[in-house]
């Protein structure tokens, strides 16, 4: 193999092939919480033919203190219910750069070499492997879903690769969109939307969110709540929805055909929500699909009149779920909370 140093892409972009489905029992949700130990392995090819983030950058991103690092991201995304601790082994000589991309062999090799250095992966809950970049691998990151390992392909200093791939470890699939929704007189006809697979949710790292904190549907999936932060609504009325990451009710669940719709309100957080603040000026409507230990976020386009990634239900606009006899309207948006009007079975929307 040539010792030519390959150039890694400047930014991590999730691909449809960036996870490996692992067998899991249907109907079984294994909630992940508490303190979890991570073994972070950083490697180089022999003879210096490597293009990888530096060991210092990978260590700081994955196990460092303060905002913008993986432990703080997980703390904020789970309300402190999941805590990251771990060990790091850096500049591990992986041997000659392979011609092919066999992630299983490369991960096994890295784990074996880490064991020789005194770090036994079996004593940890998760393995993060920051490998040197290889164009033979058609992914920027790869993970078991659900599972206990994630791999970064030359970009282990990027926070978004770990938030996304660890999401797969937790059972979070790539998002789906419900788009092309008809809208008339400021009312979105949700039943008229079409569905497709895509990455168009700026509030979800499993979609187009970059390092956006995990949304409420994932917090409910793993039980990352303290009490009454998630509430199911069954009566017509006006309800307050607190901003994500604060205190009080942060998720409203509305019964519709095919399962509950989750309403979430989040404010732009420059630490982790790196998209334009306009994408968060409204209510996000998501319908989770759960299969065993895997959950898929299906975001409903509340702004079909705006092309691109804008999906929230903006101030003054409504969404109608005709088959379920449900109407939802965004009535007020403040720094701390939103007000949402809900009407069931033909009731008029509250003023």
- pLDDT over 70 (residue 70): yes
Do 247 and 283 sit in the same domain of this protein?
A: yes
Q: What is the pLDDT of residue 56?
A: 96
pLDDT of residue 331: 98
How high is the pLDDT of residue 324?
A: 95
Same domain, 241 and 288: yes
Question: What's the CATH code of the domain at 92?
Answer: 3.40.390
State the pLDDT at residue 3. Answer: 39
**From CA 210, how far away is CA 214, in angstroms rounded?**
11
Residue 40: alpha-carbon gap to chain centroid: 20
pLDDT for 29: 59
Quick one: 131 and 227 in the same domain? no
CB 351 within 8 A of CB 332: no
What span, in angstroms and rounded, lies between the C-alpha atoms of 348 and 80?
Answer: 40
What is residue 20's predicted lDDT score, i.e. its pLDDT? 76
Half-sphere exposure at residue 46, Cβ-oriented, CA atoms within 13 angstroms:
7
Average the pLDDT over each of 23-32, 87-96, 180-189, 213-222 and give the range with the smallest value: 23-32
Q: What's the DSSP call for residue 223?
A: T
Which one has a higher pLDDT value, 178 or 7? 178
Evaluate if residue 18 carries a pLDDT over 80: no
Q: Please tell me whether residues 27 and 161 are part of one structural domain.
A: yes
My answer on whether 199 and 160 are in the same domain is no
Angle between helices 70-78 and 159-169 (to 10 degrees): 50
Percentage of the chain with pLDDT > 70? 91
The whole-chain average pLDDT of the chain stands at 91
Q: Where does the pLDDT of residue 16 fall: very low under 50, low under 70, confident under 90, or very high at 90 and above?
A: low
What pLDDT does residue 317 have? 96
Assess whether 207 and 267 both reside in one domain: yes
Lowest mean pLDDT among 22-26, 58-62, 67-71, 312-316: 22-26
Q: How far apart are CA 181 and CA 305, in angstroms?
A: 9
Domain that holds residue 338: 176-344
What CA–CA distance (Å, rounded) separates 126 from 315?
42
Is residue 265 domain-resident?
A: yes
Same domain as 190, residue 324: yes
Same domain, 211 and 98: no
The last residue of a domain, from among 169, 199, 221: 169
The more confident residue out of 30 and 193 is 193
pLDDT tens sequence across 251-295: 999 999 889 999 999 999 989 998 888 899 999 999 999 998 999
Mean pLDDT over residues 171-187, rounded?
Answer: 94
Taking the C-alpha atoms of residue 140 and residue 18, their distance in angstroms, rounded to an integer, is 7
Where is average pLDDT lowest: 15-19, 159-163, 243-247? 15-19
**316 domain-assigned:** yes
In a domain, 293, yes or no: yes
Q: Which of 148, 169, 190 is the last residue of a domain?
A: 169
**At 9, is the pLDDT very low, low, confident or very high (cuts 50, 70, 90)?**
low
33-37, 125-129, 345-349: range with lowest mean pLDDT: 345-349
Q: Tell me whether residue 184 is in a domain.
A: yes
Residue 26 has pLDDT above 70, yes or no: no
Residue 17: is its pLDDT beyond 70?
Answer: no
DSSP per-residue codes, 242-273:
EPTTSSS--EEEEEETTEEEEEE-----TTT-
Query: What's the confidence (pLDDT) of residue 250?
Result: 98
Q: Environment class of residue 329 by beta-carbon count within 10 Å: exposed (0-12), middle (13-18) or buried (19+)?
A: buried
pLDDT band at 308 (very low <50, low <70, confident <90, very high): confident
* Total number of domains in the chain: 2
- Residue 351 covered by a domain: no
Q: Do 239 and 310 sit in the same domain of this protein? A: yes
Residue 10 pLDDT: 55
In 3-state terms, what secondary structure has residue 41? strand
Tell me, yes or no, whether 118 and 185 share the same domain: no
Residue 2 in domain: no
Contacts 24+ apart (CB under 8 A), 131-134: 131/43, 131/52, 131/94, 131/106, 131/156, 132/43, 132/44, 132/45, 132/50, 132/51, 132/52, 132/94, 132/97, 133/6, 133/7, 133/8, 133/50, 133/51, 133/52, 134/6, 134/97, 134/98, 134/101
Whether residues 142 and 279 fall in one domain: no
Last residue of a domain, one of 169, 189, 221: 169
4 domain residue, yes or no: no
Same domain, 149 and 204: no
13 domain-assigned: no
């Amino acid at each position: 193999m040539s010792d030519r140093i390959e150039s890694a892409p400047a930014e991590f972009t999730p691909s449809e092939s960036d996870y490996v489905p692992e067998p899991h029992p249907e109907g079984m949700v294994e909630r992940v919480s508490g303190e979890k130990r991570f073994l972070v392995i950083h490697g180089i090819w022999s003879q210096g033919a490597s293009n990888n983030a530096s060991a210092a950058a990978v260590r700081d991103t994955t196990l460092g203190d303060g905002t913008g690092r993986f432990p703080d991201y997980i703390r904020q995304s789970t309300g402190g219910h999941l805590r990251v601790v771990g060990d790091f082994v850096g500049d591990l000589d992986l041997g000659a750069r392979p011609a092919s991309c066999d992630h299983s062999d490369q991960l096994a090799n890295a784990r074996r070499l880490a064991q020789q250095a005194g770090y036994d992966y079996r004593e940890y809950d998760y393995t993060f492997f920051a490998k040197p970049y290889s164009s033979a691998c058609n992914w920027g990151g790869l993970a078991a879903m659900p599972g206990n390992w994630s791999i970064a392909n030359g970009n282990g200093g990027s926070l978004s690769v770990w938030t996304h791939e660890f999401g797969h470890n937790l059972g979070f699939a790539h998002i789906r969109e419900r788009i092309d929704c008809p809208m008339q007189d400021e009312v979105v006809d949700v039943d008229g939307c079409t569905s497709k697979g895509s990455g168009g949710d700026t509030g979800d790292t499993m979609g187009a969110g970059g390092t956006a904190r995990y949304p409420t549907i994932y917090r409910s999936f793993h039980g990352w709540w303290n009490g009454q932060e998630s509430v199911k609504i069954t009566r017509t009325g006006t309800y307050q929805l607190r901003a994500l990451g604060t205190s009080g009710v942060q998720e409203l669940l509305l019964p519709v055909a095919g399962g509950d719709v989750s309403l979430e309100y989040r404010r732009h957080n420059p630490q982790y929500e790196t998209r334009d603040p306009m994408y968060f000026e409204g209510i996000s409507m998501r319908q989770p699909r759960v299969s065993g230990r895997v959950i898929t976020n299906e975001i409903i386009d509340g702004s079909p009149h705006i092309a691109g990634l804008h999906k929230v239900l903006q101030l003054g606009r409504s969404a109608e779920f005709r088959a379920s006899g449900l109407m939802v309207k965004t009535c007020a948006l403040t720094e701390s909370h939103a007000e949402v009007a809900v009407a069931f079975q033909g009731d008029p929307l509250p003023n």
